[in-house]
């Protein structure tokens, strides 16, 4: 040891030790990291009448983020990595409330009844109900002002070890859009550390009423361009036949030998020419072999260039494949541009017009027997 150091006074020696040794010890210890903020809540905007619209952001440990707004209980963003670890938003979404109010195609909750009801009429417990005619001669997606156009009450749920969640609630009054019963609806969005986005729906009523809830999410796993080269596999060997107005005839047919056969992986746009040209793409309900209780894997979509993969599981008996047939030249989040057929939708649901088709799974919800449904989107890359 240096003799000069040995000869130092105790106080001076202590000061020297603190100046030279303690910083080195501190540098050798790992820095304390702040815990990840899994849930964030802030203002998104205000409706014309001043009603506040909130934005909720969920994060997981793998860097995935998902954002939701209380208008329409819309999923506005889902940012996931490709095979090289590059993140992008895989939903058509906007960061401006005004665009959603002007009809931007958002991933909103659809209700009280998703899809079509023939001639806007149904009879329940001996009473005929008349609904809005807003799709040709039929009723579509719950009416002219449906759940997608309402401000829901949003609340962030306490974060758990491997997940974060936000819950939205909407109260639909008896007679709203012609439907019977006071209906309380919730959708809980949960983002897990396994890169799963889980959608749990519940609904309770004080009077028998049809309920068919879905999310009209428009996915593009590349984050821009079109969705025609996305490859799709469906665990569905049957579909519901429809008339010219896309109302089911009541007959269920095999997909074998038709352009609706996705039981082996195939590009979404490869067989458009074989479809009814009036549709300009897919707008078909597939019959699923689910049990209504445990989510079952029913679809896998692969974007071959970037390697992103999305799997869909559900408890629902049906799924509407829609390829954005009416959308053109969409500009999304961050200026991302999308051409014709910019996205695809996997709308898990009860069958269209099931309220008028006694052979279809019943969509009727009664007091004391809540509606419950779960759909899961899981993201990965290869």
So where are the chain's domains?
39-381
Is the model's pLDDT at 268 over the cut of 90?
A: yes
Calculate the alpha carbon distances from 306 to 173, 226, 309 in Å: 45, 13, 9
Q: In terms of DSSP bridges, do strands 65-69 and 52-59 run parallel, antiparallel, or are they unpaired?
A: antiparallel
Tell which wins on pLDDT, 185 or 329.
Answer: 185
Q: In terms of DSSP bridges, do strands 163-172 and 153-156 run parallel, antiparallel, or are they unpaired?
A: antiparallel
Q: Can you tell me the mean pLDDT for 297-306?
A: 98
pLDDT tens per residue across span 44-84: 999 999 999 999 999 999 999 999 999 999 999 999 999 99
Check residue 229 and give left, alpha or beta (phi > 0: left; psi -120 to 50: alpha).
alpha
CB 370 within 8 A of CB 200: no
Find the distance separating the first CA and the last CA of the chain, reported in whole Å.
59
Where are the extended beta strands (E) located within 193-339? Answer: 196-205, 209-210, 214-215, 231-234, 238-242, 248-254, 266-267, 283-287, 296-302, 308-314, 318-322, 330-331, 337-338
Helix, coil or strand: residue 375: strand
CB 192 within 8 A of CB 198: yes
Helix, coil or strand: residue 319: strand
**Residues, the chain, total?**
382
Which of 22-26, 102-106, 256-260 tops mean pLDDT?
256-260
Check residue 374 and give left, alpha or beta (phi > 0: left; psi -120 to 50: alpha).
beta
| CB neighbour list of residue 176: distance below 8 Å, 6 or more residues apart | 112
Given 77, 177, 303, 347, which residue is catalytic?
Answer: 347
| CA dist., res. 132 & res. 139, Å (int) | 6
DSSP state of 159: P
Helix, coil or strand: residue 166: strand
| CA dist., res. 214 & res. 110, Å (int) | 5
Q: What is the DSSP string of 55-113?
A: EEEEE-TTS-EEEEETBTTEEEEEEEE-TTS-EEE-B---S-HHHHHTT---B-EE-SB
Place of tokens 């897919």: 282
CB-CB neighbours of 307 under 10 Å: 15
Overall CATH class of domain 39-381: mainly beta
pLDDT for position 335: 87
CB-CB neighbours of 269 under 10 Å: 18
Which of 299, 289, 281, 285 shows the shortest CA–CA distance to 240?
285
Catalytic (active site) residue 347: yes
Is the model's pLDDT at 31 over the cut of 80?
A: no
The per-residue pLDDT of the chain, averaged, comes to 92
pLDDT for position 103: 93
Is the model's pLDDT at 7 over the cut of 60?
A: no
pLDDT for position 32: 54
| CA dist., res. 137 & res. 120, Å (int) | 8
Phi, psi of 20 (to 5 degrees): -100, -40
Is the model's pLDDT at 12 over the cut of 50?
A: no
pLDDT tens per residue across span 145-199: 999 999 999 999 998 899 999 999 999 999 999 999 999 999 999 999 999 999 9
| CA dist., res. 89 & res. 69, Å (int) | 16
Catalytic (active site) residue 41: no
Given 139, 216, 284, 341, which residue is catalytic?
Answer: 216
CB 138 within 8 A of CB 119: yes
């Amino acid at each position: 040891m240096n003799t000069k150091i040995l000869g130092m006074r105790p106080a001076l020696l202590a000061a020297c030790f603190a100046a030279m040794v303690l910083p080195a010890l501190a540098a050798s210890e790992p820095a304390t990291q702040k815990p990840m903020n899994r849930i964030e809540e802030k203002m998104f905007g205000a409706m014309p009448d001043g009603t506040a619209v909130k934005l909720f952001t969920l994060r997981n440990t793998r860097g995935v983020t998902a954002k939701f707004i209380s208008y329409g209980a819309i999923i506005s963003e889902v940012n996931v990595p490709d095979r090289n670890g590059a993140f992008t938003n895989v939903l058509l979404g906007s960061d401006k409330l005004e665009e959603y109010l002007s009809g931007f195609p958002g991933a909103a909750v659809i209700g009280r009844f998703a899809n079509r009801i023939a001639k806007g009429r149904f009879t329940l417990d001996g009473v005929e109900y008349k609904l809005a005619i807003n799709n040709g001669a039929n009723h579509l997606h719950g009416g002219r002002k449906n759940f997608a156009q309402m401000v829901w009450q949003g609340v962030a749920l306490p974060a758990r070890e491997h997940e974060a969640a936000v819950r939205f609630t909407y109260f639909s009054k008896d007679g709203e859009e012609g439907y019977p019963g006071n209906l309380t609806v919730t959708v809980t969005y949960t983002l897990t550390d396994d890169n799963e986005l889980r959608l749990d729906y519940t609904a309770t009523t004080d009077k028998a009423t049809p309920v068919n809830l879905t999310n009209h999410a428009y996915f593009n796993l590349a984050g821009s361009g079109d969705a025609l080269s996305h490859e799709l596999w469906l665990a569905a060997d049957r579909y519901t036949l429809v008339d010219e107005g896309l109302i089911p005839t009541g007959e269920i047919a095999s997909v074998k030998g038709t352009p609706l056969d996705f039981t082996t992986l195939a590009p979404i746009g490869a067989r458009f020419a074989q479809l009814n040209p009036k549709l300009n793409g897919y707008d078909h309900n597939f019959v699923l072999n689910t049990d209504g209780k445990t989510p079952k894997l029913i679809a896998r979509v692969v974007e071959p260039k970037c390697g992103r993969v999305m799997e869909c599981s559900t408890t629902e008996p049906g799924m509407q494949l829609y390829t954005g047939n009416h959308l053109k030249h969409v500009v999304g989040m961050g200026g991302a541009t999308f051409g014709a057929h910019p996205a695809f939708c996997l709308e898990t649901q009860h069958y269209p017009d099931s309220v008028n088709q006694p052979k279809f799974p019943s969509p009727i919800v009664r007091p004391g027997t809540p509606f419950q449904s779960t759909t899961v989107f899981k993201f990965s890359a290869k």
